[in-house]
Structure formats: C-alpha cells, structure tokens
Amino acid sequence: MSVDETISDPALDEWRTYDEFAAGIDTYRLPNVDLAGTALTLALEDGQTLALDFGADAVTWSGLGASGADPYDAVAVREDVVFVNLPLESREREALTVVYSTTTHRATVVRSRIAAEAVEGTPQVGQEFWAATTDGGTPTGEVPGPSRDLIGKRNVYRYSPHHLYEHVYVSSQRYAWQCLEGVQRGHGDMDLSTVWKFADGLYLFCFREFRIAVASVWLHDLGYQLMTTGIFLGLNGDGASEHSRGGGHIYPLGAVAYPDAQPV
C-alpha cells in the first residue's frame, strides 16, 4: 500500500471543531518555566498599567480595567525572553498574553476575547495589542510594533507527529494556511492576522479565524532556534470557551519579493 493510500482525507464539508484540531498540538512545545517570586509592572503605551505577581501555580494581576488571580503558562523562548499566557478563569472567554525581555525591558501585551454572539464576516474572537515596558530597568532597543517582515514568506510548522501546517504570509492583514497532516488535512483558509516584531528574529504572530471561533497568539523565533510557542482561545464543539497551548518546529520553505505593487 502506498503512503498516499494510508492517509484518510476528510471531506471538505467535515470541518473540525477547535478542540479537535488543537488536541496534541503542543507536543513539540518548549518546556514551561516557573516564575514563582517574580513580580512585574508593565507600563502600556496608552498609559495603562498591568501588574503581575507570580506564584508557583497562579498569578495575581491587575490592569486593563480588571483584576484577578488566575493560572499562568510561561515559556522561556530565549534566555532573556519569556512568553506568558493567562488563560483567565476570573473573566470568562478572555486570555491575556505577555511577552517580555529581561534585558531590553520591552514587552507586548495581547488581550483575546470571545464575543457574545457570532457576526457574519467577522471573527468571533477579537484581539487588542499594546507595546509596553517593564519596571525591570531602563528600556533599550527597538519598540515592539507592527511589522511587514513576514510578507511573502512561506513556512511549514510541525507541532507533533500528527500536526503539520503550512503558512503563507500574504499581507499585513492576512495569511493563508493549509493542513498537510492532522484531522484538518485538506482544509485551509485565509484569515485575519497581525504580525509584530519583538526583537531580532522574534515575531509575534496572531490570527483570528472566520470559520471557527478561535484566535491564537504565537511567538515565532526565526533566528537559529526556529521554534514557535503559542496559545489558542476559542469555542469548543460544545460551545464552551476553551484555552489550549501550542508549539513546535519551524521549517522555512522560501519567500517571494514583489517587484512593484506591494500588498497592504
């Protein structure tokens, strides 16, 4: 039997739910780190603050018009860069994701929120973005912000032995994806996306899907490591909000350069 004959391709109308495709998508994720004893206050670019006080299993936080005590998930993406997600239990259908550097004292904050109702033509999970600084020292280097660096690039992402996806970054607002291996094999779409440059080779990549109520936050390390660390927030097959982790290896396939007219 050939390899192709062993692969079961789902019918195009058998669209998978968020929890089905996310199961196991963190198999190759970088390991977690314990931030117990760490306290940070972030000054957001619009004048707001976000205070974080980490324990072994939970973080006490306040800012963005709210406060709470919630679990957290932290990964040291580089020696001096930490990716932290708060899958909020104190505020239903929300997540806060923070990336910060202990050397430049720069940070980014992303708030993902599931809208109460679906609206045709609009992703149900929306996202807000802030550049920030931490109180760990004097900020240095470039301020994180929107980037066009990924436009034209084509990468494959291996999250587990059963999760292989291709991304093509087509503009500053959209990316195209298709599943090469996994329960979504044969499926793909073009969804809304946001890319921010955090540091040399480090890019915050976020997407918001039209067809499924799900959004995601990833930190792509396109330097020597070629790893990505991310999270999802969405509605599962039962219609309940759910948080998931993701991560894996990046395999660049190539890039194109536009000779004249440029994408938005």
* Residue 260 counted as domain residue: no
Give pLDDT tens digits for 116-131.
999 999 999 999 999 9
* Residue 58 counted as domain residue: yes
* Residue 263 counted as domain residue: no
Give pLDDT tens digits for 11-66.
556 788 888 888 999 999 999 999 999 999 999 999 999 999 999 989 999 999 99
* Residue 111 counted as domain residue: yes
Per the CB < 8 A criterion, the answer to whether 153 and 163 are in contact is: no
Q: In what order do the strands lie in the sheet with 49-54?
A: 66-71, 58-63, 49-54, 39-44, 125-134, 106-114, 94-101, 81-87, 73-78
6/19: higher pLDDT: 19
Band of residue 83 on the pLDDT scale cut at 50, 70, 90: very high
User: pTM score, two decimals?
Assistant: 0.93
Q: How far is CA 108 from the centre of its chain?
A: 12
Alpha-carbon gap, residue 242 to 94, rounded angstroms = 9
Structure token digits, residue 153: 């690039």
Show the beta-strand stretches assigned E in the chain: 39-44, 49-54, 58-63, 66-71, 73-78, 81-87, 94-101, 106-114, 125-134, 145-146, 153-160, 163-169, 174-181, 188-199, 202-208, 214-221, 227-235, 241-255
Structure token digits, residue 54: 């980490």
> What integer is the mean pLDDT of 152-167?
98
Instruction: Give the pLDDT confidence score for residue 4 in this predicted structure.
Output: 45
AA letter at 167: H
Per the CB < 8 A criterion, the answer to whether 161 and 27 are in contact is: yes
* Residue 261 counted as domain residue: no
Q: How many domains does the chain have?
A: 1
How many C-beta atoms lie closer than 10 Å to residue 253's C-beta?
11
Rg of the Cα trace of the chain? 18
Phi, psi of 98 (to 5 degrees): -125, 135
* Residue 262 counted as domain residue: no
* Residue 181 counted as domain residue: yes
Give percent of the chain with pLDDT exceeding 90: 90
Q: Can you give the residue range of the structural domain that contains 87?
A: 3-255
pLDDT at 10 over 90: no
Structure token digits, residue 257: 């350069």
Element of type H or E holding 19: helix 18-22
148/1: higher pLDDT: 148
* Residue 264 counted as domain residue: no
Instruction: Give the pLDDT confidence score for residue 76 in this predicted structure.
Output: 98
The burial class, CB within 10 Å (0-12 / 13-18 / 19+), for 3 is exposed
